[in-house]
Structure 1
Amino acid sequence: MILALLAFAQLIIAIDYTIVFVAVPDIGRELGFAAHNLQWVVSGYAVVFGGFLLLGGRMSDLLGRRRMFVLGLSLYGVSSLAGGLATEPGLLVGARAVQGFGGAVLAPATLSLIGTLFAEGRERNRAFSVWGAAGGSGMALGSLLGGVLTQAFGWPAIFFVNVPLAAAGVVAAVVLIPRDGGTRSGRRFDVPGAVAATAGITAVVFALVQGPATGWNAASLLAGGVGVVLLVAFVMIESRSADPLLPLGLLRIRSLRNGVTVIALFAATLGSLLYFETLYFQDVHGYNALQTGLAYLVPTVAIFVGANLGGRVATRFGLHVTLATSLAVAAVGVAWLGLAISTSASYAAIVPALLILGLGQGSAFTTMYAAASTGVAPEHQGIGSGAASTGQQVGNAIGLALLVAIANQSDAFTGLRTAILITAAGVALTALTALTGRRTPALVPTP
């Protein structure tokens, strides 16, 4: 029952990230967004989510995972209600930013609960299969729900649907998840490190999101430069802190270091692919919101099946072999998709590519987080999860920025195909990177 609840929370996070995609045009028209600001319906969530993940992970370690799980879900529910009731752009972007903070608290709490409540090996692999099935399929399911709800009830429905789901999750968490102990005695928040990390990551993600949309102007470049300086300062602060936000000794754990790298590359490639698939369906073939959502049924099912298989295969053949193989299968699917699309191709022509891609993507999504959690001590599972999730957010921002810039160098369809084929090469590189990870002893240097 606890695992079902954790998977449910991950489903909410994944759905909420993509559910707005197909509703963005309707939101822009009805709330009067300026064209250059409309992207902040998505980016307002992504920037805050990515910036606060390390802090959210440390909050779970120090303040209690159940407490942070409940707080994150509560923030989701309240901000979703505010988003659905928004009557002007600023209110909606503000609500999305609060949702992003809720995600930054909830995601590490969910991952660290799996890392502490389920024993490393078969039991944890199985738990990550269920969690990964919810998260991996939720990314595609969000697009489906976004299309159905927008078409049937209007764009506010994509926010209102979260309210009862979050409320049910809070009640279930109070009933099912074991109580936290007291806050960790003798430990305190690394305030300078938290400020430097949060501001630095937020500035970098802001630059990567804003740059491709409005051009690499002075504001984008300044934000990126300030972010890099703050992250350098963060490393210096952590090396001298008695209670660091991110114990630098964690980075000596090869499984975590390799896992974060693979997660970042996965997000930069496969995580960005959804954007280009949506462009293909809507701009090339003229699908409306409902048709676009229905087009994601096939990849949703394939990702769900792949995620469930991933944990079982990993238990038998090992995490890194399974992860590398899954990514190789996904690379084949992406390449096939890039070669199969055309201005006149039917949906049926790309179904085989979507099936292969989904199976590999779902299995990889499960196993890469399981690999990253291997060897991390229970008291550091929160910050380890925060680091992994930060890799996902930053990787997605970097990958999307680069791929959009590449796609814009050619006419619309040629650029779209080029971006997809480059994504396939990137996924193949990610598979090779996964092979460099090896299991390490479950020892974590004391900060």
Structure 2
Amino acid sequence: MWGGAGASGLTLGALLGGVLTERFGWPAVFYVNVPLAGLVALAALYVVPRDPARGERRRFDLPGALSVTAGSTLLVFGLVEGPELGWGDPLVVGAFAAAAVLLAAFAVIEARSADPLMPFRLFRNRSLTVGMTVTFVYMATFGVLPYFLTVLMQSVHGYSALRTGLAFLLPSVAIAAGTQLGERMATRVGTRATLLTGFATGVVGTAVLALGFDADAGYGLLVPGLVVSGVGQGIVWTAMWIASATGTPAHEQGVANGIASTALNIGNAIGLAVFTVIADIGTEGRTGAALRTATADGEFLVVLLTAAGMVAGLLVTLTLPRSRAARTVRASRTAEPAADVLNAPGKSGS
């Protein structure tokens, strides 16, 4: 349900973003969040039940929170500004240096804290470690494609903001379908098999998508890749959060989700920074049709590299432990007829 809601929001947001930008300018896409977030905050007071009282009191790890927040922010700042200011710019170099110091300090603080913000013992859970890595790879590959698609549509093909929003409806619907397919697959065959299927589908779809990154190609050439890659993206999106949550105690689910979410956002910043530099190679000093051709050629290479990155995600997924559900299904297929397995007492929970 959560994955489906996110994909539905993506679908609506793609169209609404085009409408707002066309009518009111790009700042409107930020202003629209204010009333929506305000309504959600107010609704939480009445809809979300109060947390039960806790007998055990914990201290808030302020040094850990400050060091990891500042370190992550400076890291992302350096990655975002590096392509613009130059990787040797003192501001960028200083941001990276400060980020390294602060993140190292965070590791020391967490190792010595009696009540750490991020207990390192959680990483003994291989499912969380693999899930965190997958979220990083996901956002560094699947997550950067919308940016380059936008550049292709607006800078190369000259689409308006509204037309670009409409063009994003198709992949958004494909992603929404993929999230629901991923939910059913995870229930039937397990998280590992679902992630492998999602990444494999994404590799094929993204490689096909690269064929549409041509200055003379129309939207129709993008459609097959957008659909197949979108379905793979949706499948991975659902399964990677399940992987990140598996094996972590209920009272520490928030920490596990925070770890995976942080990896997701840093993966996006690193992927976008690296691929933007690659895409811009060969565009310096060009104008007009030559610039559009060079931009499309650079993005063609980038899309193929994201497909290669998805292969890396597939290989990482192979280290994920096989789920009990998948083992139960395999064992039942060799031991009992399918109908008996589904109807047998106590088997439905498996």
Note whether the superposition's TM-score is higher than 0.5. Answer: yes
Larger Rg: 2
Q: TM-score, normalised by structure 1?
A: 0.67
Q: Does residue 193 of structure 1 match 2:103?
A: no
Q: TM-score, normalised by structure 2?
A: 0.85
Amino acid paired to 1:134:
A
Amino acid paired to 1:215:
G
Structural RMSD (CA): 1.8
Match of 1:180 among 22, 27, 51: 51
Q: Does structure 1 retain, via aligned residues, the 8 Å contact 2:190–2:323?
A: no
Structure 1 portions without partners, runs of 5+: 1-129, 442-447
SS at match of 1:390: helix
Matches within 5 A, 1:269-284: 269-284=141-156
Q: Which residue of 2 aligns with 1:346?
A: 218
CA distance in 2, matches of 1:191, 1:218: 29
Q: Which residue of 1 aligns with 2:6?
A: 135
Residue 161 of structure 1: how far off its partner (Å) = 3.0
Query: CA separation of 1:184/1:292 partners in 2, compared to 1, >3 Å: closer, same or farther?
Result: farther
Matches within 5 A, 1:100-139: 130-139=1-10
Q: Does residue 422 of structure 1 match 2:305?
A: yes
Matches within 5 A, 1:300-339: 300-339=172-211
Choose 136-145 or 308-317, whichever is displaced more.
Answer: 136-145
Q: Which residue of 1 aligns with 2:345?
A: none
Q: Which residue of 2 aligns with 1:400?
A: 272
SS at match of 1:195: helix
How many residues end up aligned between the 2 structures?
312
CA distance in 1, matches of 2:307, 2:268: 15
Q: Which residue of 1 aligns with 2:252?
A: 380
Q: Which residue of 1 aligns with 2:285?
A: none
Q: Which residue of 2 aligns with 1:61?
A: none
Q: Does residue 364 of structure 1 match 2:236?
A: yes
Residue 140 of structure 1: how far off its partner (Å) = 5.3
Deviation sequence 1:202-229 (CA, Å, 0-9, x none): 1111111111122111111111121112
Amino acid paired to 1:417:
F
Q: Which residue of 2 aligns with 1:79?
A: none
SS at match of 1:340: coil
CA distance in 2, matches of 1:292, 1:151: 10
CA distance in 2, matches of 1:267, 1:190: 28
Q: Which residue of 1 aligns with 2:99?
A: 227
Deviation sequence 1:369-403 (CA, Å, 0-9, x none): 11100011111111111110000011111111111
Q: Which residue of 2 aligns with 1:35?
A: none
Q: Does residue 434 of structure 1 match 2:317?
A: yes
Residue 307 of structure 1: how far off its partner (Å) = 0.5
Amino acid paired to 2:57:
G
Q: Does structure 2 retain, via aligned residues, the 8 Å contact 1:200–1:227?
A: yes
CA distance in 2, matches of 1:191, 1:162: 29
Q: Which residue of 1 aligns with 2:117?
A: 245
CA distance in 2, matches of 1:406, 1:236: 35
Query: CA separation of 1:194/1:157 partners in 2, compared to 1, >3 Å: closer, same or farther?
Result: closer
Deviation sequence 1:58-88 (CA, Å, 0-9, x none): xxxxxxxxxxxxxxxxxxxxxxxxxxxxxxx
Q: Does residue 265 of structure 1 match 2:148?
A: no
CA distance in 2, matches of 1:401, 1:154: 25
Q: Does structure 1 retain, via aligned residues, the 8 Å contact 2:211–2:222?
A: no
Structure 2 portions without partners, runs of 5+: 283-293, 325-350
Residue 336 of structure 1: how far off its partner (Å) = 0.4
Q: Does structure 1 retain, via aligned residues, the 8 Å contact 2:213–2:296?
A: no
CA distance in 1, matches of 2:232, 2:62: 40
Amino acid paired to 1:430:
G
Deviation sequence 1:123-168 (CA, Å, 0-9, x none): xxxxxxx211222453454332111122234445434433443343
Query: CA separation of 1:163/1:205 partners in 2, compared to 1, >3 Å: closer, same or farther?
Result: closer
SS at match of 1:344: coil
Residue 182 of structure 1: how far off its partner (Å) = 3.7
